[in-house]
Chains A and B, each alone.
Chain A
Amino acid sequence: MGEITNDQRIVITGVGLAAPNADNLPDYRRKLLAGESGIREIDLRYMGTCPAGVCQFPETKHRKKKENKRGTRAGCLGVYAAHEALFDAGIDFSEYDRSRTGVYIGLTEHGTVETENEVYNISQYGYNVDYWTHHHNPRTVLNNPAGEITMSLGITGPHYAVGAACAAGNAALIQGAQMLRLGEVDFALCGGVSESVGSFGIFASFKAQGALASHSDPTKACRPFDRDRNGIVISEGVCIYTLERLDAARKRRARIYGEIVGYAMNSDARDFVLPYGPRQAECMRLALQRAQLAPAEIDIINTHATGTKQGDEEECKAVRELFRDCPNTYVNNTKSIIGHAMGAAGVLELAGNLPAFEDGLVHPTINLDNLDEECRLPNIVANKPVELPHVDTILNNSFGMVGINSVVIVRKYKGD
């Protein structure tokens, strides 16, 4: 993105999140470094028990129980994380106009949970649709989580969802950066959310595809790059960032987590479910070009790998192709610890790595007991953290079904 002026440089100044193992960034980082899994067994309608990630967070900290009941789980997660991000950024809207604030939320899917619940509900009444709830439509419109955030915060600028399967979190982050650059808004809340653990259908579909992880110990079920990996662990989660233009952030002396210096999205244009490494490599290459960085200048690659046989191999091929001569580039995977938070995955995984700019640590990929040779990369950080002399750049991959790829590169902000 070259020599650009400070009003076109976009920085992350606040993070709000809920993951299966933490409800704030410091705790989340500590648990990622310790490899402390948030995965446990849950009991699903029709399915029985499955390993999954469920978030524990103070649900009524920012919104009344009545409003949580009115809205969706995704809305509840989103409202919590949005308030936390604002608090983290020190923004109370004296700095920015609510009408010039945009809310962009990435979703893998939305409405599945509510629809399944309502079909079950009317099944208790002989499938009489008179018992179908009037809440169904406002809960299932795609802008629901973003809209619940605007209602809770009185934000009157634009809000909408970005649908990009499991690349959606990154896609929404990119959308926020673009809208700031275009001058459409002055301040953006963006990220991703997933309530997928509430849907038996999502589990059943992955199972039917042979892509649902199982293990006698749920904390060991998600094992990207491991020879014995057998699929995805589904998690709920949320991560929302406050994004600002650098000049405005500096003016208010904001703490800056990092600068979004490069991003890219592209499409495989091939298959409904199978990922495609060469296109992922093209996506990473484009993001690097835009960031004006050579592959060797990337310190951490936070992979998308979900723990499926082919998905992990394809991504490793792509990483190998671009980073073969990069002895100082380290590779990790956050899903091994928190599972796959779907629409929140990209942003939640990026958040878990941002503190590396300060502590110089690369959090581990856990459950990597026997590396699959097809996934061999020079510097995979396995099972315990690695300390680097410095971490200045993070490249975050996030890919999704129907062939959507996203890459975001964040650089440590060191002042001008």
Chain B
Amino acid sequence: MTREALKDVILEIIAGIDEDADASTLEPDKPLRDQLDLDSMDFLDIVMELRKRYKLQIPEADYPQLATLESCVNYLEPRLANV
């Protein structure tokens, strides 16, 4: 999956959690939770959705790597390279 496609996946999952979330002003290198109305339970929804879609098991120790849109893409790129 390309970096652009991965970004779209993350934004799509966030829109599924909160359809009012405004992704247009999202700064890719700033924490998602600082910019959107997302809390820890919403974050776990993102993790669950990635598991359901791609059978991707993300260990809890890796959660900090999913803090920003940019870091999400960096984390997912090698793991979803063949998707």
Q: A residues near B, CB below 8 A?
A: 64-66, 69-70, 125, 130-131, 133-135, 138
B48 & A133 in contact (Cβ 8 Å cutoff): yes
Interface flag for B34 (CB, 8 Å): no
A66 & B20 in contact (Cβ 8 Å cutoff): yes
Interface flag for B62 (CB, 8 Å): no
Chain B residues whose C-beta falls within 8 Å of the C-beta of A135 in the assembled complex: 41
A130 & B57 in contact (Cβ 8 Å cutoff): yes
Chain A residues whose C-beta falls within 8 Å of the C-beta of B17 in the assembled complex: 66, 69
Complex Cα distance, B16 from A65, in Å, reads 11
- Residues facing A in B1-47 (CB within 8 A) are 17-20, 37, 41, 44-45
Q: Can you list 11 A-B contacts (CB < 8 A)?
A: A64-B18, A66-B17, A66-B18, A66-B19, A69-B17, A130-B51, A131-B48, A131-B51, A133-B48, A134-B45, A135-B41
- With both chains docked as a complex, state the minimum distance between the C-beta of A39 and any C-beta of chain B, in angstroms: 32
Chain B's closest residue to A64 (CB) is B20
- With both chains docked as a complex, state the minimum distance between the C-beta of B33 and any C-beta of chain A, in angstroms: 14
Chain B residues whose C-beta falls within 8 Å of the C-beta of A130 in the assembled complex: 51, 57
Complex Cα distance, B17 from A65, in Å, reads 9
Complex Cα distance, B18 from A70, in Å, reads 10
Number of interface residues, chain B, beta carbon within 8 A? 12
Complex Cα distance, B48 from A134, in Å, reads 9
B48 & A70 in contact (Cβ 8 Å cutoff): no
Counted as pairs of residues, one from A and one from B, with CB atoms less than 8 Å apart, the total is: 24
Chain B's closest residue to A70 (CB) is B41
7 interchain residue pairs of minimum CB distance: A66-B18, A134-B44, A65-B19, A134-B41, A131-B52, A64-B20, A130-B51
Complex Cα distance, B34 from A205, in Å, reads 47
B41 & A65 in contact (Cβ 8 Å cutoff): no
Complex Cα distance, B48 from A138, in Å, reads 17
Specify which of B20, B37, B48, B57 lies most central, judged by the most chain A CB atoms within 10 Å of its CB.
B48
Instruction: Given A125-B52, A131-B51, A134-B44, output 16 extra A-B contacts at Cβ < 8 Å.
Output: A64-B18, A64-B20, A65-B19, A65-B20, A66-B17, A66-B18, A66-B20, A66-B37, A70-B41, A130-B51, A130-B57, A131-B48, A133-B48, A134-B41, A134-B45, A135-B41
Chain A residues whose C-beta falls within 8 Å of the C-beta of B45 in the assembled complex: 134
Complex Cα distance, B32 from A263, in Å, reads 53
- Interface readout for B44-83 with A: 1 if CB under 8 Å, 0 if not? 1100100110000100000000000000000000000000
- With both chains docked as a complex, state the minimum distance between the C-beta of B58 and any C-beta of chain A, in angstroms: 11
Specify which of A64, A65, A66, A133 lies most central, judged by the most chain B CB atoms within 10 Å of its CB.
A66
Complex Cα distance, B43 from A96, in Å, reads 36
